[in-house]
Amino acid sequence: MPPTPDIDRRAVLRGLAAAVAALPVLGTVAAPAAPAAPAASAAALGSWPVSTLEAFADTLVPGERRSSSDRAVAGAAPGPGAVQAGVIALLTSPELPLNPLLPGIAALLDARATAYAVSRLILLPIDRPPFVGLSFDHRTTLVARLFQADDLDRAIWQLLAFLVGLAFDTAAHRHTAQALAEGHPGLVWTGFPPPDADGLWRYPAHSYGTALAEPHPATTPSGSPA
């Protein structure tokens, strides 16, 4: 069995928790800005950690391969997935404290993939990270095990999975209006509504067909509690 990477799990959890807390706010209130270049972010992190993290994200929100030689994306589903939606740009966002932690997280995932392969006598290719070397079905089986209640690192995988979902469902690392205008794959795929002409979202129709409660009398004009 391969040794488990020596990482500070408390630091990883603190970093992931801080990222989860910050991202829903960043994507909606930050002023529109030019997105960080994905190639630059990936180069700073390193090709193997990027591939491992992409494969993890693609297991949770799968999509089409970017090319015939794509290894991280398994091509298990039509349309865009978390990788196409910019999950690496989210994880390496300069506003978040994750960059120093990502190589350790990727190494931990690869160690678990190696142990999984050894237990099933699966011969992994040597030209790619262990998790990337697994088939999509084996990736899915392994990830399901990582979320079991008795897994030592369950909280790490849960928080990382939540960030993966945010990348696809909300483009949380981008200003929402700008992401929509530029055709963010996740927002477009899920049919996220565009803002009004002034860049703000208003919802004149109640989703349940009726108001569920009256606004508190101290509510501000912006809709915030006083």
Q: What confidence score (pLDDT) does residue 67 get? A: 96
The CB-based long-range contact list for 204-213 (8 Å cut-off, 24+ gap) reads none
Q: How does pLDDT run across 74-119, given as a tens digit for each residue?
A: 999 999 999 999 999 999 988 888 888 899 999 999 999 999 999 9
Q: Which residues of the chain have pLDDT under 70?
A: 1-6, 22-43, 226
Q: Which of 86, 98, 96 is nearest to 165 (CA)?
A: 86
